[in-house]
Amino acid sequence: MAAGAGEILQLIRTGRATTRIQVLEVTGLSRVTVAQRIDALVSAGIIRAAGDAGATGGRRSERFVFDPSDSLVLAAALELDGGEVAIVDPHGALLARAPLAVDLTAGPAAVVPHLLDAFDALLADADLKPGAVGGVALSVPGPVDPRDHRLSDPPVMPGWGAWPVVEAVRERFDVPVHLENDADAMAYGEFTELDAAPDRPQPFVLVKVSRFLGAGLVVDGRTFRGADGGAGDIGHIDVGGDAVCRCGRRGCLAAEAGGAALLRRLQEAGSDVGSLAELLALAERGDPLVTAELNRAAELIGRVLAVVVGVLNPADLVVAGELAVPTMIAGIRAGVYAGAQPRATARLRIRSAVLGSDAVLIGLARVAVDDRFSADAVDARLG
């Protein structure tokens, strides 16, 4: 194994080899080369010595940890009518966060300057200089084109298609800027939370069930975006209903089974429920109308996910978002099992998300950190 400093960093980050002798054993490099590359990583402020690893003592059993300087991530999770900004450290810990009052339908020219001011305020409150920031990552409720990193005809965000969000952010913060679909960011956050995720890169699917619906896919350890960023956009798959969707078409899954659709259907049936929080409170009390609607939605979502499962044969299907309650997960499981081949579900784990409402921000930070400290990026930086 010919390992540059970047590869050695991956061994240290994942804990597969954290001392000089372990790196030497895994890579087969000479002692001198290992020492040079580790010294380069230390000098660059990417790793640091963290005490002795074993009883043998001496320099070769010194343990190294990933602890980069100037690598905080500014993350923003943008929702259609609001959001959150945060400062995240390179290990994924949220150092500071604040709600963001935005309305994405007002268009990017109104929203982006407000977002940048919110980042500045967050840094000032935390007494941090912009120089401590190593990356910025934003999530949006729409597809992002992987070729130009711009929104790709977002069905619910008029005016954002092809608008240069990344370039506008870079004018304020001269660091790498990432624009991600929100379900993709959530999926990456939950995927990297799995034990030894890099060692078992089986396909991973996350479905976000809140007011709207979306799915994020991780394949071979990376976000799978598709040709134009539309992969996982299950909310606009036609399930044959009558309701008009926000995208303008009829019969979309989101218009039949998303949270906004549930509220509308309940109100049409005479309920005075006004928010998803009220809907969930009624569900908890066993309200028969709400329970029936949740079950119907879950079954529809499960039927669509059965197709996803049949195509991708994932190892994990994680249900996230405000409506990822036990009734929803049980209904999705029933829909998937009813619609997919037994072979495709035999070893499939269907479960709720573990990062909760932090999944997007943590996922965004990991996207930025994994990109900045990939083996290739580190080798390029160290020349």
Contact indicator for 318, 351 with CB cutoff of 8 Å: yes
Point out which span in 51-59, 164-172, 251-259, 296-304 binds Zn ion (CB under 5 A).
251-259
Contact region with Zn ion (CB under 5 A), list: 14-22, 53-61, 230-238, 354-362: 230-238
For Zn ion, which is the closer residue by CB, 194 or 245?
A: 245
Which listed range, 144-152, 211-219, 231-239, 346-354, lies at the site for Zn ion (CB under 5 A)? 231-239
Smaller CB separation from Zn ion, 219 or 247: 247
Q: Which is nearer to Zn ion, 20 or 236 (CB)?
A: 236
Do residues 182 and 213 make contact, with C-beta atoms less than 8 angstroms apart? no
Q: Whole-angstrom Cα distance, residue 42 to residue 49?
A: 8
Q: Are 236 and 245 in contact (CB under 8 A)?
A: yes
Question: Binding-site residue total for Zn ion (CB under 5 A)?
Answer: 4
- Please spell the DSSP secondary structure of 323-366, one letter per residue: T--HHHHHHHHHHHHHHS-HHHHTT-EEEE-SSGGGHHHHHHHH
Contact residue for Zn ion among 247, 289, 330, 348 (CB under 5 A): 247
Angle of helix 375-382 versus helix 31-43 axis, rounded to 10? 80
By beta-carbon proximity to Zn ion, the closer residue of 201 and 241 is 241
Select from 151, 156, 252, 360 the one that contacts Zn ion (CB under 5 A): 252
Cβ count within 10 A of residue 162: 12
Minimum CB–partner distance for residue 229 and Zn ion (Å): 16
Residue 103 burial (CB count, 10 A): 13
Q: How far is the CB of 252 from Zn ion (least distance, A)?
A: 3
Quote the tokens at residue 13.
């980050």
Site membership for Zn ion, residue 260 (CB under 5 A): no
Question: Which one among 38, 183, 245, 320 touches Zn ion, defined by CB under 5 A?
Answer: 245
Closer Cβ to Zn ion, 12 or 253, answer by number: 253
Nearest-angstrom CA–CA distance, 328 and 318 = 12
211 touching Zn ion, by CB under 5 A: no
Does residue 236 interact with Zn ion by CB under 5 A?
Answer: yes
By C-alpha distance, which of 194, 181, 143, 142 is closest to 318?
Answer: 194
Q: Are 318 and 205 in contact (CB under 8 A)?
A: yes
Closest contact distance (angstroms) between CB of 111 and Zn ion is 22
Binding mask 124-163 for Zn ion (x = CB under 5 A): ----------------------------------------
Residue closer to Zn ion (CB basis): 87 or 209 = 209
Tokens encoding 96? 């500071």
Residues near Zn ion (CB under 5 A): 236, 245, 247, 252
